[in-house]
Structure 1
Amino acid sequence: MNKTLIFSFLLCLFLASCSKQPQQYTSFDEAQHALKSLNLALYQPKNSKHTGLRSEQLPFTDAYLKKRHAIYQSLMQMQLTKQQTEQVNYLVIAERFPERYFAWPAHTNVLVNLLNLASSESDYQNISNWLEFVQRQLESAQLSNLKLNKIEHNLIKNYVLSALSDKNIPNSLLAQLNILKDYLVQYSPRGSVGLYGLANGSEWYQSKLNYFSGTVHSPLEWLTIINEQLKEESTQPANQEVSQIYPQSFLVQFTNGDKEVPGLDWLSGFRNLPAIAENKSLLAQQKTLMLAMMETDVGLHIHAWTLPQAKVNLIKRLNISEIDATRLVKNIVLYPGQAFSFAQQLL
């Protein structure tokens, strides 16, 4: 009897150990490297040379989402720093929200990046299948009242039109590109440009505010805090070049050259923006710039500001040109919440 019990106990232990999924990554660096490789179609380093395209590298497909989720789960089992843990938690929360319906993020020309990875006819077929997938996802999204805003819509439509005018595009992709072009031409984007216009968009935006700012305030509370601080700042030229380079956001460009803190999010250039901002000293005009961007960020994404309203606010606050204001507004629309990376030292 005792032998039977002992055998049963050992068998249970064996089965339990076998049921556990092996931890695929054992360090932050390994996981970051895996995410960089996974997201090469979304954020491809300049002058990088890669051959071959894996199915999991096709953005927001089932294979991509499964791989990304596995990496996040490995990270959650590691001993990480407080800043790293906060970023992992933020990315895991983002999995709940509807970005997967927008398989071609407007921040970057995914098609060009995929073609840079392709090395065979089967790769081109996978890209063609992905273009079809992009359209199916957009069609499914509309059934859930999820639509691109007009800035995202115009960017993606222009990527497709640019590809169709490129003589180097493989013939095997032209048919699918023309189908996607026709769909995008008749596509009607949502009226709002802010996240509040999406189902669960307000909750999604709140998670971004919480992460980038490092504290929890409602958007209304943030506006009150920011406006009080702006009263103490004098309006002066921002004295900051505003470039229109994608996929780099303005905040990524603004912090280039500062002490690096590795991150996990392709939208932040795989840099931890709040941690980098914490160590960056701002000049007086730069403080005003960030406060004005934070104010405009909340205005666009929660309080239904129009693009002209947002531009006028930035021009008034910063005494900048309409061109620079337009570029800042586009950055704020495409990269919600990033400006709040400087909240801790400003408020």
Structure 2
Amino acid sequence: MAHKELDYLRIQERYPERYLPWPSYISVLKNIEGRVSGEELELWLKFVITKLKEADESNIRLNRFEREAMIKQLEDSNIDAPSRSALLAYLSNYKPRAMLGLHQLPNGKEWYQSKLNFYGAIQDSPNKVLATLSKFDNQNSKANVLKVMPDTQQPYILELLPANCQRIAGLNWRDGFINVPSTVAKCTKAIEQYKALIVTLMAVDVGIHYQGWSQKQAFVALNSKLALNEQQAQQLIANIVYFPATIFAAYPHFLKP
């Protein structure tokens, strides 16, 4: 499976990800504090600014979740680096893209399909996947209570796994160096109880990243199937935005036709 992950990471470099070196949900400044020199940090922050400007020239922009998360990290950090202030100033005047999902980015739909291929071993189009999901969803109309509170530090599918489920080491720092498909494949019985929840999240994932749903549309869709408070809904949406298609790691094991 490692070679598949490596192939996936190579493919990701063809898409807008190459312009976005700082996944905003990762606490980079906190993680590197005291571990790198001031000179190294300065170079990295300059690199982030350069890549964001290059991205803008290619019509690639952060969404508002990403922008706000980066600003908060910069404001909360005590790191003394000139480029920290420069990046904060740049982001303060930065206009994020209107939509949250990959849909609005150049080649965004193709990028999303590549993620479905890796995480869910899905070759079908997202629309065909939705048709499969709807068949299952029609059998489960009862609202589900959210038993596991989502965060934005790891894909939600990993949060649903019990602690004794071995996390398989991976190559992608955006997934916390965990190979998500391999990990889920080892623990499919553990997530059977969450099947209806996972199907709902898959549908919202496609809605946000492929169909261009707004945050409000995602909120309505989640609340039509799940018994959520506002904080839970917002956290689920943020997790879906930050970790596109990762929820589909469960797809081959109990949904694939």
TM-score, length basis structure 2: 0.92
1:216 paired residue number: 123
Q: Is the 8 A contact 2:25 2:152 kept in 1?
A: no
Higher deviation after alignment, 230-239 or 308-317: 230-239
1:148 aligns with 2:55: no
RMSD: 1.7
Any stretches of 5+ residues in structure 1 without a counterpart?
Answer: 1-82
1:338 aligns with 2:246: yes
Q: What is the aligned counterpart of 2:161 among 241, 255, 267?
A: 255
2:38 and 2:2 map into 1 onto residues whose CA distance is 37
| SS across alignment from 2:144 | coil
1:124 paired residue number: 38
Letter in 1 for 2:160: F
Q: Is the 8 A contact 1:236 1:285 kept in 2?
A: no
Letter in 2 for 1:138: L
Q: Deviations over 1:105-124 (max 9, x none)?
A: 11212122222412xxxx10
User: In the TM superposition, what is the alpha-carbon distance from 1:183 to its structure 2 partner?
Assistant: 1.0
Q: Is the 8 A contact 1:235 1:317 kept in 2?
A: yes
Name which one, 1 or 2, has greater alpha-carbon Rg: 1
1:102 paired residue number: 20
User: In the TM superposition, what is the alpha-carbon distance from 1:85 to its structure 2 partner?
Assistant: 2.9
Indicate the structure whose relative CO is greater, using CA pairs within 8 Å and at least 6 residues apart: 2
2:108 paired residue number: 201
Any stretches of 5+ residues in structure 2 without a counterpart?
Answer: none
User: In the TM superposition, what is the alpha-carbon distance from 1:245 to its structure 2 partner?
Assistant: 4.6
Relative to structure 1, the CA distance from residue 211 to residue 324 in structure 2 (aligned partners, 3 Å threshold; closer, same or farther) is same
| SS across alignment from 1:191 | coil
Q: Is the 8 A contact 1:260 1:276 kept in 2?
A: yes
1:277 and 1:126 map into 2 onto residues whose CA distance is 36
Relative to structure 1, the CA distance from residue 326 to residue 95 in structure 2 (aligned partners, 3 Å threshold; closer, same or farther) is same
Q: Deviations over 1:63-107 (max 9, x none)?
A: xxxxxxxxxxxxxxxxxxxx2332222122112122121122112
> How many residue pairs are counted as aligned between the two chains?
253
Q: Is the 8 A contact 1:206 1:219 kept in 2?
A: yes
2:6 paired residue number: 88
Q: Deviations over 1:155-195 (max 9, x none)?
A: 001111112xx3xx33xx1x322221111111000011110
Letter in 2 for 1:203: E
Alignment of 1:286-297 (within 5 A): 286-297=194-205
Q: Is the 8 A contact 1:297 1:332 kept in 2?
A: yes
TM-score, length basis structure 1: 0.69
2:211 paired residue number: 303
2:191 and 2:44 map into 1 onto residues whose CA distance is 45
Q: Deviations over 1:207-266 (max 9, x none)?
A: 1001111131111111111111100124232342213252x2322322252133332222
Query: Percent identity among equivalent residues?
Result: 32
Q: What is the aligned counterpart of 1:267 among 165, 174, 178?
A: 174
User: In the TM superposition, what is the alpha-carbon distance from 1:324 to its structure 2 partner?
Assistant: 0.7
| SS across alignment from 1:339 | helix
1:262 and 1:178 map into 2 onto residues whose CA distance is 35
Could you list the structure 1 runs, at least 4 aligned residues long, displaced by more than 6 angstroms after superposition.
Answer: none
1:187 and 1:117 map into 2 onto residues whose CA distance is 29
1:285 and 1:254 map into 2 onto residues whose CA distance is 10
Letter in 2 for 1:131: L
